C-alpha cells in the first residue's frame, strides 16, 4: 500500500530520484577524493565539502519524500 501511494505522486517520485542520485554522486565523490587527495592535497577539502553537501541533499530529499508519501497515504485512508 505504501509503495503504491508514493509512486502515484510525481513530485514524491522525483524527490526519491533526486535523493538516490545525490547519494550515488556522494559515494562516487568520496571515492574520487581518496584517489585525488594524494596528488592534490588542497583540492581534497572542497571535494569533502561537496560530498557532504550531496549526502545532506540525499538525506533531506529522501526524508521529505517519505514524509510526503505518508501524508498522501493518511489523506487517502481518511485518518
pTM: 0.75
Reduced to 3 states (helix: H, G, I; strand: E, B; else coil), residue 58 is helix
Element (H, E) at 39: none
The one-digit pLDDT tens for each residue of the chain (79 residues) are 555 555 667 788 888 899 999 999 999 988 877 777 777 777 777 888 888 999 999 999 999 988 887 776 556 665 5
Q: In the prediction, which pLDDT does 79 show?
A: 54
CA angle 50, 56, 65 (to 5 degrees): 135
Amino acid at each position: 500500500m505504501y509503495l503504491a501511494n508514493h509512486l502515484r505522486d510525481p513530485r514524491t517520485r522525483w524527490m526519491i530520484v533526486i535523493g538516490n542520485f545525490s547519494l550515488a554522486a556522494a559515494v562516487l565523490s568520496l571515492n574520487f577524493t581518496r584517489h585525488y587527495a594524494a596528488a592534490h592535497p588542497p583540492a581534497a577539502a572542497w571535494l569533502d565539502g561537496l560530498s557532504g553537501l550531496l549526502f545532506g541533499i540525499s538525506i533531506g530529499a529522501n526524508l521529505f519524500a517519505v514524509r510526503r508519501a505518508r501524508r498522501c497515504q493518511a489523506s487517502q485512508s481518511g485518518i
